[in-house]
Structure 1
């Protein structure tokens, strides 16, 4: 979502923490079921840039969506299940979006059914897609082609299936945390539709688990989403589809006057409030011509609203209406060349209105208290940003065993007034039977959704767009019909990263002096004075053990760094987790039951250590924390085991799917952060992730 400004860290962590206030609430991502697809749908695959994981009747280099739906702990949500794949980190800092191969979650692009959306993950980490219609998705982790744009991290491109033409069905989902209804009907011989709507249920009882907390809800956390598609099959080679999708997340808390949060940051009096909403409607026309030409053309309208408040005086409200035209064409020139090209236009009308007395902050700053604000900023505006992208690529079969795909993306926008010409190159060489060598390169840029840092009042009107160079190289070998392994290495170079201005002490300013205060406030709040690198190596092995078994193992080693050019400080990035191991297996116990497990190990989260707290010179009740080097301490390693069992019950006129899961089976107390008590930060307590939790879900297919 194009948010107006970067929320201080207390908003990012505390509002996200609303979703982890009770063990039952935190299992929201495990509360739906699966198996609504036909066997043809189940062979749909998830194509991964770094690795592809497999389905029953598909090559070993691919993974069926059905298998990702059954990954323990993912709650039948394949987008959440990408955590079990190499290079993906969902931070234990309670962010709902993934960081991929050393890039920030804000560096990703999200597409559903060829068109952009406001956001793709709810605050509890589950995706907005209904598992009844998920067909497949691509995780483009690095060096992706020119058909994708406005991303320096990764691209998640999800597709939902077309409505069935041969059946009507109604599906009812119900669990402790979520309820939903899905309706699908044939309208004519060549027209059909489906529509789903879901809402959270935890808002009705979560307060029962908060007896000892030092805050209360002003808005109990909750979410809603809906998704619909109406398709006219004009012919076997032509479809016209109208689609809608939308979601809403909101929450709010008010801290007690004597709470640790208010004692440490009096600016939090008045609490926190948060609301995000989007809806989009789009029309997509796809066709295959007799000549071999194919095209997909989509037009959509996207409405987004975002609002938050911090304390009594800090608030921001944003509304964005954007209009998108996207097209992609493909034409086989001859046996050796397939030309691919596309054009995308976007016009965004961004309206914002707000007031803030808070310091400029970025994701690297451990101390971003509202009370440290040095000026009150008020602003409103309605900029219109127009952007266009044009891409072309040639899928060139150099030899029968070597495919080379050069491409280029050309783009421009009228706000930053920057023009980009970015080359891309991908290669796959099968140098011997069952062996392949892959490589990729690309240049990328992004105009962040967090548009607030680009506004003249709250940020810096002269900011440039961050850029990145991606390199990757890999080798894969299909050892047998049921065994494949792959190793891939990558390197990313990141430039023009946006950071907040340093603290006044860095410049030698004393904010108690009006001249120093004026000089400091005149500095740009945000600049492009940071860069970074990310490199790593990933190993993946996929094995079909028997007809009843499938599973995969992934292991990754990486290093991610950032450098603040203003302060000349170099440090590990927040999402730097050098070692990540995933093991996933599923066993068909009999014709009724499936059982599976997932074990994950990852290096501990990086934190900036608190060294001490010093009494404020002007306010003896206030203590100012003194931190050590940025991200210089690592928490203990994180690991857990999740298990799951599935069964389908078949009755005369309906079916019921049932599953049960045990999360964190061996009860590992994973430390994900530290909290400090009192105004003087005198006592440190460990914040741990979920204990052992048993959950279950049912789904009735009528």
Structure 2
């Protein structure tokens, strides 16, 4: 990959920054307005203080919990919200723009201090006794500033302790020894099973790619708040077992309209945000990405990759007791590599060569949800959520058969023709769901009880159109009496067809019981019924926190977690073969030290034991069983400086071991995301209102990969030379270590008409090629490395 001319590409950005300095600046003012409520009961807080730290001016909330501060100078301001009996909350940066009102609804947690006279300032619920372990939060500004993330929430999460991404070009996250499909995702209280684009279902010999997707379905600045628990989450959440991620989509501004646009190497994003009536506000965003310009910049193969993300959310305060939000999302994508994209002269052994594969993917996701929050009395509230989601996918896979020279360079792409439609995956899902969650706050007890119900329809087909030859196999698949170093894939052992519906139901109760000023205990139990398997499961869970002092606590969590089989796996089984839910037993013990108002140290040790793990006896056939088991354990350490004043950052280290055993006589092996050592360092500094500089360093042990040997001319045909790959040990080797330094610079100018911003975001500035996986090439007997070197983007953002 040649990036010698890369610096010249930034001339355009430099010119844009220079132009910005000539924009007329009007030193005028704007306003701040909002509402302060209790997190536990959602009731308005009367008499809460809202204080703009640098201006030393503020306001007090009225009987409706509403406050208003006018004539605030334009720029970034830190705001502290406090109320007697509640934790102080800091909003590190509120951007006030000319002649507009910034509106925010703010939740405060009950004070958990054990000594009088000292108040620990909490950030977005991090001192919540309901979530004593593995809890992290990110603000909208912290997500956007995260270097290398390019505004992508999933990439921003990959630096958290115990979290790894699919690696390099992938953004989906895997947590504490489990996979990218094992996480609970909630978006505005609506369950989502996939938050990523380009997940490439079916690309791995017709089965799911374990790396997950490459980009999140949320455009920059769409997500307003993030809550992440790296295990140990309570009984209110289930059907996935690894981690819990809650994303809150920004609500529309109730006071004034704003319009913004971001334009960069990847594409464009437009956002509109404002009131449509006295009671209703709208937040709408649209993003279109086309990767052609970036791929050309990086000198990579010409593939067509386009995707879009479109969202609208309305919020209506019906009356003092009822708040209604409606959200709708549409996320299409259309990547392809056809025979027209293939040229002579390409070396199949080069990194990211994509080998001889052809594909044409068409997919789209739709989600519509309605969320009604009702205040029942001064101590309780009810959430009712109704949602519909659908996913439509049509993936076609083919292969061309070139002639290559001794170095692996394609001489004639169509030497033996090509097959455009060798395999096809069609996966259409529809789900209608309802959730009702009741919360009651007693004197020393918070009760949460709820039910979930969903009707799921699967219309699935996996089809191989002709007998295929697979040149990768394991040693155990070889017939020792008549060795043959390839497999013949019969459509009868691959094809599957499923069209059916099933009902899934859940019920759960959790308590947060403050036994004393120092000790909080959170017992809970969850019941799930899974219609596709007819399985009933019960999951008891327990967590707690003991306050050693006003700033230090010991925390723990333990429980049973069940995980539904992926819908694609359920639909892919032959008649009569039922796969069950996987089960894990999890325990966490941690220590938390709130060093200062915005400094926190956390150390946690954890252990997991797995059984009924779904395994695939033959890698190219549909048949699955629950014969697997395994275990994982590790420890995470983090020192976090939350965003306040001019800087924030985090230092983290994670140790992890994760093993699986398919119980097929070959013993245990490293799980795909067994990453023993991970180090992350992140920092951001804002020297002035105009400039923000951020950097992030990441190191991790290389991911496991199969150990193998190569057999030449396995077809015995010199005119059609093919090499066979014999896997001698599953995940018996490792890829090179992952090392990346990411840098970001933002330049902001407040003008008389709004905000102008220009940014540069560089992933892996040293251009070290970080390998994500190895793809075997039968035509050359080698592997090409799938990964990423430097990945730059730059652009501008304008807000009116």
**Structure 1 length as normaliser, TM-score?**
0.82
**Alpha-carbon distance between aligned partners in 2 of 1:84 and 1:438, rounded to the nearest angstrom:** 22
1:567 match: secondary structure: coil
Contact 2:475 2:727 in 1 (8 A): no
1:451 match: secondary structure: helix
Structure 1 position 68, deviation (Å) = 2.8
Structure 1 position 394, deviation (Å) = 1.1
Contact 1:287 1:294 in 2 (8 A): yes
Matching of residue 347 in structure 1 with residue 463 in structure 2: no
**Alpha-carbon distance between aligned partners in 1 of 2:516 and 2:300, rounded to the nearest angstrom:** 69
Q: Which moved more, 1:155-164 or 1:444-453?
A: 444-453
**Alpha-carbon distance between aligned partners in 2 of 1:592 and 1:62, rounded to the nearest angstrom:** 26
Contact 2:524 2:542 in 1 (8 A): yes
**Alpha-carbon distance between aligned partners in 2 of 1:222 and 1:136, rounded to the nearest angstrom:** 27
Matches within 5 A, 1:356-505: 356=464, 372-376=488-492, 377-457=494-574, 461-502=577-618
Q: 1:327 aligns with which of 436, 444, 449?
A: 436
**Alpha-carbon distance between aligned partners in 2 of 1:327 and 1:530, rounded to the nearest angstrom:** 35
Contact 1:295 1:328 in 2 (8 A): yes
Q: 1:240 aligns with which of 324, 334, 339?
A: 324
Contact 2:505 2:530 in 1 (8 A): yes
Matches within 5 A, 1:91-170: 91-92=166-167, 94-117=169-192, 119-123=194-198, 125-170=214-259
Structure 1 position 67, deviation (Å) = 1.7
Aligned CA distance change for structure 1 residues 543 and 608 (closer, same or farther; 3 Å): same
**Alpha-carbon distance between aligned partners in 2 of 1:605 and 1:23, rounded to the nearest angstrom:** 29
**Alpha-carbon distance between aligned partners in 2 of 1:526 and 1:569, rounded to the nearest angstrom:** 18
The aligned residue for residue 223 of structure 1 is 307
Q: 1:318 aligns with which of 415, 427, 438?
A: 427
Matching of residue 72 in structure 1 with residue 72 in structure 2: no
Structure 1 unaligned residues grouped into runs of 5+: 1-19, 47-51, 263-267, 505-520
**Alpha-carbon distance between aligned partners in 2 of 1:23 and 1:527, rounded to the nearest angstrom:** 50
Structure 2 unaligned residues grouped into runs of 5+: 14-75, 77-92, 97-101, 110-119, 128-134, 199-212, 350-354, 399-420, 479-484
Deviations 1:501-537, CA, capped at 9 Å, x for gaps: 2479xxxxxxxxxxxxxxxx9xx81111111211110
The aligned residue for residue 9 of structure 1 is none
The aligned residue for residue 8 of structure 1 is none
Matches within 5 A, 1:268-279: 271-279=358-366
Contact 1:53 1:542 in 2 (8 A): no
Aligned CA distance change for structure 1 residues 341 and 374 (closer, same or farther; 3 Å): same
Matching of residue 527 in structure 1 with residue 636 in structure 2: no
Matching of residue 81 in structure 1 with residue 156 in structure 2: yes
**Alpha-carbon distance between aligned partners in 2 of 1:614 and 1:686, rounded to the nearest angstrom:** 21
**Alpha-carbon distance between aligned partners in 2 of 1:208 and 1:670, rounded to the nearest angstrom:** 19
**Alpha-carbon distance between aligned partners in 2 of 1:169 and 1:282, rounded to the nearest angstrom:** 24
Q: CA RMSD in A?
A: 3.9
Structure 1 position 675, deviation (Å) = 5.6
2:745 match: secondary structure: strand
**Alpha-carbon distance between aligned partners in 2 of 1:645 and 1:206, rounded to the nearest angstrom:** 19
The aligned residue for residue 590 of structure 1 is 688
2:158 match: secondary structure: helix
Contact 2:137 2:228 in 1 (8 A): no
Aligned CA distance change for structure 1 residues 616 and 370 (closer, same or farther; 3 Å): closer
Aligned CA distance change for structure 1 residues 534 and 118 (closer, same or farther; 3 Å): closer
**Alpha-carbon distance between aligned partners in 1 of 2:686 and 2:365, rounded to the nearest angstrom:** 40
Structure 1 position 321, deviation (Å) = 1.4
Deviations 1:222-277, CA, capped at 9 Å, x for gaps: 11111111121013442111110121222122365988879xxxxx9782222321
The aligned residue for residue 184 of structure 1 is 273
**Alpha-carbon distance between aligned partners in 2 of 1:361 and 1:525, rounded to the nearest angstrom:** 20
**Alpha-carbon distance between aligned partners in 1 of 2:655 and 2:215, rounded to the nearest angstrom:** 26
Q: Which moved more, 1:538-547 or 1:555-564?
A: 538-547
Matching of residue 668 in structure 1 with residue 768 in structure 2: yes
1:80 match: secondary structure: helix
1:107 match: secondary structure: coil
Matching of residue 90 in structure 1 with residue 189 in structure 2: no
Structure 1 position 279, deviation (Å) = 0.5
**Alpha-carbon distance between aligned partners in 2 of 1:636 and 1:321, rounded to the nearest angstrom:** 41
Contact 2:337 2:358 in 1 (8 A): yes
Aligned CA distance change for structure 1 residues 663 and 346 (closer, same or farther; 3 Å): same
Contact 1:326 1:345 in 2 (8 A): yes
Contact 2:748 2:757 in 1 (8 A): yes
Structure 1 position 498, deviation (Å) = 1.4
**Alpha-carbon distance between aligned partners in 2 of 1:381 and 1:583, rounded to the nearest angstrom:** 47
Deviations 1:282-332, CA, capped at 9 Å, x for gaps: 111012232411111110111111121222332121211110001211002
The aligned residue for residue 667 of structure 2 is 569
Aligned CA distance change for structure 1 residues 434 and 358 (closer, same or farther; 3 Å): farther
Structure 1 position 417, deviation (Å) = 0.9
**Alpha-carbon distance between aligned partners in 1 of 2:477 and 2:428, rounded to the nearest angstrom:** 29
Contact 2:326 2:369 in 1 (8 A): yes
Aligned CA distance change for structure 1 residues 359 and 435 (closer, same or farther; 3 Å): farther
Matching of residue 690 in structure 1 with residue 774 in structure 2: no
1:615 match: secondary structure: coil
2:196 match: secondary structure: coil
Q: Which has the larger radius of gyration?
A: 2
1:67 match: secondary structure: helix
Q: Which moved more, 1:356-365 or 1:606-615?
A: 356-365
**Structure 2 length as normaliser, TM-score?**
0.73
Deviations 1:665-684, CA, capped at 9 Å, x for gaps: 334343444466662415x6
**Alpha-carbon distance between aligned partners in 2 of 1:359 and 1:37, rounded to the nearest angstrom:** 60
**Alpha-carbon distance between aligned partners in 2 of 1:541 and 1:450, rounded to the nearest angstrom:** 39
**Alpha-carbon distance between aligned partners in 2 of 1:665 and 1:426, rounded to the nearest angstrom:** 42
